[in-house]
């Protein structure tokens, strides 16, 4: 999946300490300054953007650990 959309949302809502363009798809977002409060904003924006609803089983730190992990979950939900 093209991660540009995710990166744009992350730049707007992630409040990261590292610029999004410096992150790899696999970089740990929690190590890049992602907080639980910022995770809420990120999740709500992702739901809006992709017109999805994360199920409870996907609502964990694991899902929001990296751009790659977010993309994987979204791909599953969009299908």
- Give me the residues that bind other proteins (CB under 8 A), please: 17-18, 28, 30-37, 39-40, 43-44, 53-57, 59-62
Smallest separation (angstroms) from other proteins to the CB of 56: 5
Q: Quick one: 7 or 73, whose CB is closer to other proteins?
A: 73
- How far apart are alpha carbons 34 and 38 in whole angstroms? 6
Give 8's DSSP letter: H
Q: Quick one: 3 or 18, whose CB is closer to other proteins?
A: 18
Q: Quick one: 2 or 56, whose CB is closer to other proteins?
A: 56
Q: Rounded to 5 degrees, what angle do the CA atoms 23, 19, 72 make?
A: 40
């Amino acid at each position: 999946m093209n991660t540009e959309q995710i990166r744009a949302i992350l730049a707007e809502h992630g409040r990261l300490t590292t610029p999004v363009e410096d992150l790899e798809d696999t970089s740990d977002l929690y190590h890049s300054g992602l907080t639980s409060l910022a995770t809420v904003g990120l999740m709500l924006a992702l739901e809006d953007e992709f017109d999805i609803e994360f199920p409870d089983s996907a609502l964990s730190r694991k899902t929001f650990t990296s751009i790659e992990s977010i993309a994987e979950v979204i791909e599953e939900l969009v299908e």
